[in-house]
Amino acid sequence: MDRLIEFISANPLLVAATLLMAIAVIVVEVQLRARALLEVSTAEVVRMINRGATVVDIRDRARFEAGHVVEAVHMAPEELAKGGEGRIKKKRGVVVICENGSQSYRAVKALRTAGFDGAFSLKGGIGSWQRDSQPLVTGKR
């Protein structure tokens, strides 16, 4: 114990850096675990769709028309942040899809704050949907 105290007093910068790195690792780990609670896999999205969930695509209009999930609703992130203005229902599940999952994650956090407890983000976005060989439809809906 005496040697530990001697080491700490002889190397305060090294000890401080080590403590800061440990805190940073803990913070990042907590954030990743919290994010995992709001994201679902492609397989889970398919199950949710089969149970009647609404799919909301928040990508820009051109990308939406180039290929989107069957029966997906296109909505701007700002419109979705306002609760979908009556286009989505709180009682049903909601899956939000963007290009890579980061924008939809933020949208889901806003939806959860607005009372949509069944809102989730597709982990990895439309890219993971395509990697898992799920179908896309093109054109306007």
* pLDDT over 70 (residue 85): no
Mean pLDDT of 48-68: 92
The pLDDT, as a whole number, for residue 37 is 84
Q: How far apart are CA 63 and CA 48, in angstroms?
A: 23
Residues of the chain above pLDDT 70, percent: 94
Q: Given this model, what pLDDT does residue 79 score? A: 81
Cross-strand bridge partners of residue 68: 137
Average pLDDT of the residues in 81-106: 81
Rounded mean pLDDT, 26-39: 88
Please report, for the chain, the start and end positions of each structural domain, with discontinuous segments joined by +.
2-36, 39-131
Select the CATH number that applies to the domain covering 39-131 from these four: 3.30.360.10, 3.30.300.30, 3.40.250.10, 3.30.565.10: 3.40.250.10
Of 13-17, 42-46, 79-83, 107-111, the range with the lowest mean pLDDT is: 79-83
Q: In this predicted structure, what is the pLDDT of residue 83?
A: 64
Q: Given this model, what pLDDT does residue 28 score?
A: 94
**What is the pLDDT, as a whole number, of residue 13?**
96
Checking if the pLDDT of 141 tops 70, the result is no
- Inter-residue contact 121 to 104 (CB < 8 Å): yes
- Among candidate residues 115, 113, 129, 5, the one with its CA nearest the CA of residue 55: 129
